[in-house]
Amino acid sequence: MNLEGFLAQLAALATALVLAPLLTGWVNQWRAWLQNRSAPPLTQPLRVLHKLFRKETVMAHEASPLYRAAPYIVFACMLLAAAIIPTLATTLPLARAADAIALVGLFALARLFISLAAMDVGTPFGGLGARREMLVGFLAEPAFLMVLFTASLISDSTSLATIVSSLGQRELAILPSLAFAGVAFTMVSLAENARVPVDNPATHLELTMIHEALLLEYSGRHLALMEWAASLKLFAYSCAGLALFFPWGVAQANDRMALAFALPVLVAKLAVGGIGLALVETILAKMRIFRVPEFLATAFLLGVLALLVQLLLGA
């Protein structure tokens, strides 16, 4: 590992840590504007993190070490996920660990811990949220894998860096398999990131919550880490989507000029994606929880179609 690669990796991490809350703020801003409300500042999520880190952390008496450790584990998983997805450059030191299946595993690990922690203190909403989180997760995961396998088939590798560089250097052509996979990926991302129509990040109704119900008992720095992890997850998913379906402008690690160019390109792509997400959340209503399996089954079906189209037609 050379110094340059190490620095590029550090830059990618720092970018993720700062850009992730800003992306959340950007989506919130656009959602407010689209609903004719005056929007909070772009930096509001960062301010909230700042506030939460300074606040007292209150723990339930019955909380086990698992509950205490979960925020750190979840945060680490999401940070690692954001680091291994080629956001700015493809040939980073961690690129060798950046396997598509490992990425799905990382998300699964985080989900496992966040759900266990929610059930740990024994409040009814924690159990309720954990149950629903697992329902969404076990349906979303196979669909996500199908999307990644389609991309792997195209580039003959499950390494994310290879997938991105081979997709990025391919001449511009709309592959039907990637189109199917793109729709499937969008649906999975909405579900996995607890957005409308699957979950409502803005709700205060504890009975309808999925993701928020898991965090109800957390406070102070633990809550800050969980919130940060949630925005990192959204960032990671967005970057994964951009890397798979819009892979242009990602730099090679040793090319400083390209690296300097990669950041504005990434920000521009995320900005457009964020507006799209806000638009989806403004137009759609939240669906009944038992429609979620149908929704994710459709995503899985599209993922399988993408795989079959690629496998059988090679297109």
Supply the minimum distance, in Å, between the C-beta of residue 119 and other proteins.
Answer: 13
Between 3 and 36, whose beta carbon lies closer to other proteins? 36
Do 185 and 140 touch, CB atoms closer than 8 A?
A: no
Residue 119 binding other proteins, by CB under 8 A: no
Residue 207 binding other proteins, by CB under 8 A: yes
Q: How far is residue 290's CA from residue 295's CA, in Å, rounded to a whole number?
A: 9
Eight-state DSSP code of residue 99: B
- Window 158-197: residues binding other proteins (CB under 8 A): 196-197
C-alpha triplet 281, 285, 288: angle, nearest 5°: 125
Do 125 and 107 touch, CB atoms closer than 8 A?
A: no
Supply the minimum distance, in Å, between the C-beta of residue 218 and other proteins.
Answer: 13
Query: Of 157, 208, 252, 298, which one interacts with other proteins (CB under 8 A)?
Result: 208
Which among 26, 6, 14, 11 is positioned nearest to 238, based on CA atoms?
Answer: 26
Residue 60 binding other proteins, by CB under 8 A: no
Residue 287 binding other proteins, by CB under 8 A: yes
Residue 282 binding other proteins, by CB under 8 A: yes
Q: How far is residue 7's CA from residue 189's CA, in Å, rounded to a whole number?
A: 30
Residue 289 binding other proteins, by CB under 8 A: yes
Residue 34 binding other proteins, by CB under 8 A: yes
Q: How far is CA 20 from CA 25, 141, 270, in A?
A: 9, 22, 10
Between 3 and 205, whose beta carbon lies closer to other proteins? 205
Binding site for other proteins (CB under 8 A): 31, 34-37, 124-125, 128, 196-197, 200, 202-209, 212, 216, 281-291
